[in-house]
Amino acid sequence: MSRIRSNLNTGSSEFRQNYAANLARIASFKERQDAARHIRPPRDIERLKKQGKMLPRERLERLLDPGTPFLELSSLAANMAYEGEAPGASCITGIGMISGREVVIHADDSSIKGGAWYPLTVKKIIRCLDIAIENRLPVVHLCDSAGGFLPLQSELFPDKQMAGRIFRNQSILSKMNVKQLSLVFGHCTAGGAYIPGLSDYAVIVRGTGAVFLAGPPLVKAATGEVVTVDELGGCDLHTQVSGTCDYPADSESHAIALGREIVAQWAHSPKWALQREAVEAPYYPADELYGIVPDDIKRSFDMREIIARLVDGSRFHEYQPAYGTTLICGYANLWGYKIGILANNGVLFNDSALKGAHFIELCNQNETPLVFLQNITGYMVGKEYEARGITKDGAKMIMAQSCSRVPKFTVMCHGSFGAGNYGMCGRAYDARFLFSWPNHQIGVMGGEQAARTLAEVKMRQLEREGKGQDAALVDSVYQETLKAYQEQLSAYYATSNLWDDGILDPVDTRNALGVAISASLNAPLEPSGYGVFRF
Amino acid sequence: MAVILTLDGETTTVEILGRKPQLRCSVEDRYYVVYETPAETDGGGWITVNGVRHRIWRIQEGERVHLKIGNRIFSVGITDPIDAARQTTRSGEIRADMPGVIVALSCEPGSNVRAGEALLTLESMKMQITLNAPRDGIVSTVHVAINQAFQKGALLVALEPEKESSPS
Amino acid sequence: MPIKRILIANRGEIACRIQRTARRLGLETIAVYHFTDRHAPHVSEADSAIELQAEIPTAAYLDIQQLLAAAHAMGADAIHPGYGFLAENAGFAAAVEAAGLRFIGPQPKVIELMGDKLRARDFAASRGIPVAPSCTQEGSMDAFIAAASTIGFPLLIKAAAGGGGKGMSIVHSADELANRAALATSEAQRYFADGRIYAERYIERPRHIEVQVLGDGTGNVVHLFERECSVQRRFQKIIEESPAPNLPRALRDEICSAAVELSSAALYRNAGTVEFILAPDGAFYFLEMNTRLQVEHPVTEFVTGMDLVEAQLRVANGEALWLTQEVIRQTGHAIECRVCAELPALDFRPATGTVRVLHVPEAPYLRFESGIREGLPITAAFDSMLAKLVCYGDDRAEAISRIKSALDATVLLGVDSNLEYLSAIFAHPAFVAGDLHTGFIVQHAASLAPLPLDAAMRASVLIAAALGNDDFRRMVDIIPEPHASIGYWRN
């Protein structure tokens, strides 16, 4: 495969301006992330220390294999919810390695309100268990949660994708022979008790760990029975009498050491043998990504420059280089894995949509995972394009993509607007993993278009009501809409609501995709249905 | 997760920082790049640490690794991470798992027993079962006599409490 | 009838050494062993083997009745006692002969004479061989102390009946004499069942020079030159060499002649060793005679080209001495060191363990004589010597250089040993200069101690050890790609 020849002028003022703007953006992202991970009321830290507990991230670092990556998911979940009361949605999820096995980690963050579950906590846990199901990854739960956050119970308890789904997913995982281990460091109360209860293996720490459907106060209220935490659901009770947990641990360190050894007993399930080549670092330095991505969402850039900084040796085999050129398609290797890339280089026309649909079929035929690099304002609109069947052609691309059997990965490199989001494997399309860059914006249309559309509607309404033209009113509608939209368009809003699996510093994209692709290979490939249609 | 080693009575941890392109470890906050050349015909090999190459012979024996590196010979203790983390005192209460009768007593109050040493033999369900000391210790009380029947959970023998070991 | 089937009443390296010559000569060997030695090479390499019963392992090899019964049961026609155990037990030699078997050693009477240090001394003195001023405890302890005081200090006190450094001590002044004498008595009692002790003038910076002799029992005796055995720890030799460095030829000949004279007078039969103390002024004194094969006999074999075990067998067969002094030549230089399971840093405390790795270099100029192999447990039941390493060179410098290289190339893991310590001795300038005396190790203790590890070397040792641990190694190797290549990374 030949190397992409970069046309980037790293000496240009545009490059330098982009670079500076993106650095500032990344600094702000890291600052938010750091706060979400580490800024806690000293009182809460003190309480954990007094209990002899480690902070959740300390547990995690000791549990994971040394010198291996941990792909944290949705580190800024809930960052724009609950007035910031649940940083990271009060839990840590991600893909890591324990005793040489890829596992999903779910760790309650007891440094925030005792690890209580908010609605978005539940959503984040369900998402990580969905990842486990889709990719057949074992799960290690680090349990330490006070249970559901009662004031918001209506948003976390009753519906299909709410708390019950956690336990449903756990059950399904076990049925699929995908193992789960719970390390019970703190309390698992009420529904939370089912996490160790539905795990195939459970370790509980003597003194601090407890599992019960109702804690002592509730028991007293319900039946009048007076009982201590340890008597009700402590380590010795569950490992000697009830059998709810399997291994007693003397300390958190002991539990972690046991946990590592338990995972080490799990048979290595064969992975789907995706073709792998020797790894070659990208020829072009990753930090140049900062100089490529424009500060303005409306400015376009050549997505080949992005590909050149993600893939092995910056080598790219471009498919149909002369046809449908606003969608770049082609093969590349990433951390040695053969992948098929679809990257937007402008609005999707009929030919680019057909090219995309065709290339997706080729990757399915070739058993090559798909990576979508989104920067899309949508499918082309207008009389000519409708006449040429843009809707029909877009539908082909969505169909081909939706029905793909190969794993899909999506990176929101810049804008993601309109139906282009669908064709390019947006959140609704079961990408195994979907990440965003901090500059990313998402919405049914761009902020300005939306504001203009609403201002237009307002104007027509005024006209209908015979109130004549009120430029100031229309302008205020425009400005307010734009402002509200901008906030909701931002990557932070998206990630807060778990519309993605987390924001990535662009230079981390290569590693994140490496871990993600490797994880995806744990699930077997389904058989294919049709051959390749040349549309 | 680090490995705890003991050399000349001093305890140190070796941590893995990375594996590719070469193994990187840290020992006492210093970083070392390591690679090993596989053993040749005579069973020895070479280890290169931060560019310094040493001839090496090595063998693991239980929780020790004996090695000759250059012309020097060492024996390094390695602590199992689970053992290192285990910290509570082990109970000295020997209780009956099921009802039965005592058929033999192998200890008396004051006996100094080693872990695994027989304390008594009981008979239950036509089987003779010998109960052993769960740890080293001194027998404080023998609660039963020969031919005495007991119920499930009965305290049979107690060892003197163990001194609290410090968590590692 | 020449000897055909030899029962070797010993174990370890010497049993293996005797088997080697016997095999070469087409003789059958019978090993004896205690249960703890059942996997030892001396058992598996013998033509046949028979177990001896005893609670205490050493007791098995000291049980005369069982040994004779074993010899009878296995149809042996001779017994080789090796060294140690019953090698210098006149009663054993007599019992062997009474049982109609050949004893590969001296006549019981000679063993008895030389076994009693006091009689041996008197015997030597009566033949004009110099002995150090001394006195023996014959009556009360008080009388002994009074007599000993007149010899002058420092004094050496030792058991009248024993050897091997047991019960030996140096007394520097009259004040300590009574205490040391009492201690020596109790040790002598414990080790030799004979509490009598003996005092002699202690010579400062003495050298230990001994002479290998060979006699046929009729007064025909030749010597096979001297050995220098001055490097000792706890009164036990750890390095021996031949010829002795810096020993004037005339003096050497004088000492060798004295050894021949003594052995001849005793009508000595067998290979034997006459030991002398050599004072810095060139005066030498008879110390004792060992009526058996010596641990360090290979150095003599290297420089004379003779097989001393074969020589023992020939004289035991009644053959008259077949060579004259004139034809025996001392060529080149040989050095031996004793590899012991011990901790030099902890005052040579014996060590135990299991031999896990044993790798020994091979060369025509090198002999590694051992009774160990990989997998063999080393217990405290027997002597701590594991093996002898012997090297030959055209001259002393070459022999030293070869033995040091051989030591450095020797790998013995699983049981602590003095390998490194021996290597340090061979690197020591005083040893290289041949500036030897029996206090060598005490004098140079500081410069022989291993250098402390610097941080980088310590880290290398720890990392190498960690990589030798299966769990750590697994933790390194188990990480698949691309995770291993990505390494530590957090997003």
Listed by start position, the domains of chain C span 5-104, 133-201, 207-448
| Interface contact B47, partner C, CB < 8 A | yes
| Interface contact B1, partner A, CB < 8 A | yes
Interface mutation vs chain A, best among B17, B82, B97, B168, most A CBs within 10 Å = B82
> DSSP code of A66?
T
B–C CB contacts, 8 A cutoff, strictly below: 133
Radius of gyration of the CA atoms of chain B, in A: 24
The predicted pLDDT at position A340 comes to: 98
Contact yes or no for A254 and B19 at CB 8 A: no
C306: left (phi over 0), alpha (psi -120 to 50) or beta: beta
Q: In this predicted model, what pLDDT tens digit does every residue of A365-403 receive, in sequence order?
A: 999 999 999 999 999 999 999 999 999 999 999 999 999
Contact yes or no for A68 and C483 at CB 8 A: yes
**Mutual angle of helices A163-175 and A119-135, in 10-degree steps:** 20
- Kindly list the distances between the CA atom of residue A33 and the CA atoms of A27, A83, A118, B80, C9, in Å, as whole numbers in the listed order: 10, 16, 19, 36, 80
Q: Quick one: average pLDDT of A293-314?
A: 95
Count, in order, helices (H) and strands (E) of chain A.
21, 15
Nearest CB to B69 within list C464, C469, C484: C464
Nearest CB to A71 within list C475, C487, C491: C491
**Pair C283, C96: CB distance under 8 Å:** no
What's the 3-state SS for A425-466?
CCHHHCCCEEEECCCCEEECCCHHHHHHHHHHHHHHHHHHCC
Name residue, tokens 């030591």.
C407
| Interface contact B167, partner A, CB < 8 A | yes
Interface pTM, i.e. ipTM? 0.95
Nearest residue to B38 (alpha-carbon basis) of A260, C467, C179, C313: C467
| Interface contact C475, partner A, CB < 8 A | yes
Please report which helix (H) or strand (E) contains residue A482, including its range. helix A471-489
Which residues on chain A are in Cβ contact (under 8 Å) with B81?
Answer: 257, 260
Instruction: Give the pLDDT band of residue B165 (cuts 50, 70, 90).
Output: very low
CA A402 – CA A398 distance, rounded (Å): 6
| Interface contact A75, partner C, CB < 8 A | yes
Q: In this predicted model, what pLDDT tens digit does every residue of A203-238 receive, in sequence order?
A: 999 999 999 999 999 999 999 999 999 999 999 999
Contact yes or no for A279 and C478 at CB 8 A: no
Secondary structure (3-state) at A78: coil
Touching B (3+ Cβ pairs <8 A), the chains are A, C
The predicted pLDDT at position B163 comes to: 64
- pLDDT above 90 (res A318): yes
Sign of CA dihedral C134, C136, C139, C145: positive
Interface mutation vs chain C, best among B17, B19, B54, most C CBs within 10 Å = B19
The predicted pLDDT at position C163 comes to: 62
CATH class name, domain C5-104? alpha beta
Sign of CA dihedral C457, C460, C466, C469: negative
Contact yes or no for B85 and A253 at CB 8 A: yes
Smallest CA–CA distance from C480 into chain A, residue: A100
**Pair C348, C233: CB distance under 8 Å:** yes
What's the 3-state SS for chain C?
CCCCEEEECCCHHHHHHHHHHHHHCCCEEEEEECHHHCCCHHHHCCCEEEECCCCCHHHHHCCHHHHHHHHHHHCCCEEECCCCCCCCCHHHHHHHHHCCCEECCCCHHHHHHHHCHHHHHHHHHHCCCCECCEEECCCCHHHHHHHHHHHCCCEEEEECCCCCCCCCEEECCHHHHHHHHHHHHHHHHHHHCCCCEEEEECCCCCEEEEEEEEEECCCCEEEEEEEEEEEEECCEEEEEEECCCCCCHHHHHHHHHHHHHHHHHCCCEEEEEEEEEECCCCCEEEEEEECCCCCCHHHHHHHHCCCHHHHHHHHHCCCCCCCCHHHCCCCCEEEEEEEECEEHHHCCEECCEECCEEECCCCCCEEEEECCCCCCEECCCCCCEEEEEEEEECCHHHHHHHHHHHHHHCEEECCCCCHHHHHHHHHCHHHHCCCCCCCHHHHCHHHHCCCCCCHHHHHHHHHHHHHCCHHHHHHHHCCCCCHHHHCCEEC
- pLDDT above 70 (res A121): yes
Which residues on chain A are in Cβ contact (under 8 Å) with B85?
Answer: 249-251, 253-254, 256-257
Give the long-range contacts of residues C88-96, CB within 8 A, separation 24 or more.
C88/C114, C88/C115, C88/C163, C88/C290, C88/C291, C88/C292, C89/C64, C89/C115, C90/C115, C91/C64, C92/C9, C92/C64, C92/C67, C95/C64, C95/C68, C96/C68, C96/C71
CA C101 – CA C114 distance, rounded (Å): 22
Instruction: Give the pLDDT band of residue A345 (cuts 50, 70, 90).
Output: very high
| Interface contact B126, partner C, CB < 8 A | no
Nearest CB to B67 within list C354, C408, C464: C464
Secondary structure (3-state) at A211: strand
Nearest CB to B82 within list A67, A206, A258: A258
| Interface contact C487, partner A, CB < 8 A | yes
Contact yes or no for B1 and A65 at CB 8 A: yes
- pLDDT above 50 (res B168): no
**Considering only residues 234 to 253 of chain A, which have any Cβ-Cβ distance to chain B shorter than 8 Å?**
249-251, 253
CA A223 – CA A479 distance, rounded (Å): 59
Task: Please tell me if the domain spanning C5-104 has the same topology as the one spanning C207-448.
Answer: no
Which residues on chain C are in Cβ contact (under 8 Å) with A68?
Answer: 479, 483-484, 486-488
Sign of CA dihedral C291, C296, C298, C304: negative
Contact yes or no for A67 and B87 at CB 8 A: no
Contact yes or no for A254 and B86 at CB 8 A: yes
Contact yes or no for A260 and B86 at CB 8 A: no
| Interface contact B39, partner A, CB < 8 A | no
Please report which helix (H) or strand (E) contains residue A218, including its range. helix A216-223
Of residues A74 and B133, more confidence is placed in A74
**Considering only residues 48 to 107 of chain B, which have any Cβ-Cβ distance to chain C shorter than 8 Å?**
49-50, 52, 54, 56-61, 65-69, 71-76, 78, 80-81
**Considering only residues 132 to 161 of chain A, which have any Cβ-Cβ distance to chain B shorter than 8 Å?**
none
| Interface contact C487, partner B, CB < 8 A | yes
Smallest CA–CA distance from C477 into chain B, residue: B19
- pLDDT above 90 (res A287): yes
Residue C124 CB coordination number (10 Å): 25
Which residues on chain C are in Cβ contact (under 8 Å) with B18?
Answer: 487-488
Which residues on chain B are in Cβ contact (under 8 Å) with C354?
Answer: 61
Touching C (3+ Cβ pairs <8 A), the chains are A, B
Maximum mean pLDDT: which of A148-152, A334-338, C471-475? A334-338
CA C314 – CA C328 distance, rounded (Å): 17
The predicted pLDDT at position C133 comes to: 84
Q: What angle do CA A180, A186, A192 make, to 5 degrees?
A: 55
- Kindly list the distances between the CA atom of residue C197 and the CA atoms of C141, C167, C193, in Å, as whole numbers in the listed order: 9, 9, 12
The predicted pLDDT at position C97 comes to: 96
Which residues on chain C are in Cβ contact (under 8 Å) with A261?
Answer: none
> DSSP code of A138?
-
Give the burial class of B76: count Cβ atoms within 10 A of its Cβ; 0-12 exposed, 13-18 middle, 19 or more buried. Answer: buried
Architecture of C133-201 per CATH?
2-Layer Sandwich (3.30)
| Interface contact C471, partner A, CB < 8 A | no
Just give the CATH number of C207-448: 3.30.470.20
Nearest CB to A250 within list B17, B24, B87: B87
Smallest CA–CA distance from C345 into chain B, residue: B8
The predicted pLDDT at position C188 comes to: 80
Strands B52-61 and B45-49, sheet pairing: antiparallel
The predicted pLDDT at position B166 comes to: 40
Residue C295 CB coordination number (10 Å): 24
Percent residues over pLDDT 70 in chain A? 100
CA C240 – CA C242 distance, rounded (Å): 7
Contact yes or no for C474 and A515 at CB 8 A: no
Nearest CB to B82 within list A64, A65, A257: A257
| Interface contact B128, partner C, CB < 8 A | no
Residue A447 CB coordination number (10 Å): 21
Touching A (3+ Cβ pairs <8 A), the chains are B, C
Could you give the residue numbers annotated as active site of C? 292
Q: Which of A128-142, A393-407, A470-484, C272-286 comes out lowest in average pLDDT?
A: A470-484
Contact yes or no for C491 and A279 at CB 8 A: no
**Mutual angle of helices C141-151 and C174-192, in 10-degree steps:** 120
Which residues on chain B are in Cβ contact (under 8 Å) with C466?
Answer: 3, 5, 14, 25, 65, 78
**Pair C181, C141: CB distance under 8 Å:** yes
- pLDDT above 80 (res A468): no
**Pair C412, C355: CB distance under 8 Å:** yes
Nearest residue to C133 (alpha-carbon basis) of C206, C204, C200: C200
The predicted pLDDT at position A421 comes to: 96
Name residue, tokens 């969905």.
A130
Q: In this predicted model, what pLDDT tens digit does every residue of B23-77 receive, in sequence order?
A: 999 999 999 999 998 766 667 899 999 999 999 999 999 889 999 999 999 999 9
- Kindly list the distances between the CA atom of residue B31 and the CA atoms of A62, A293, A525, B36, B49, in Å, as whole numbers in the listed order: 19, 36, 42, 16, 10
- Kindly list the distances between the CA atom of residue B106 and the CA atoms of B102, B140, B147, in Å, as whole numbers in the listed order: 11, 14, 14
Interface mutation vs chain C, best among A511, A517, A518, A520, most C CBs within 10 Å = A511
Percent residues over pLDDT 70 in chain B? 91
Instruction: Give the pLDDT band of residue B90 (cuts 50, 70, 90).
Output: low
Q: Which of A489-493, B121-125, C441-445 comes out lowest in average pLDDT?
A: B121-125
Q: Both tokens of residue C488? A: 């530590």
What's the 3-state SS for A386-435?
HHCCHHHHHHHHHHHHHCCCCCEEEEEEEEEECCHHHHCCCHHHCCCEEE
Nearest residue to A236 (alpha-carbon basis) of A204, A258, A198, A262: A204
Q: Kindly give the parts of chain C with pLDDT less than 50.
A: none
Q: Which residues, listed in sequence order, are joined to residue B119 by a DSSP beta bridge?
A: none
End-to-end CA distance of chain B, in Å? Answer: 13
Nearest CA distance, A432 vs chain C (angstrom): 18
Show the domains of chain B with their CATH numbers.
2-79 (3.30.700.30), 82-160 (2.40.50.100)
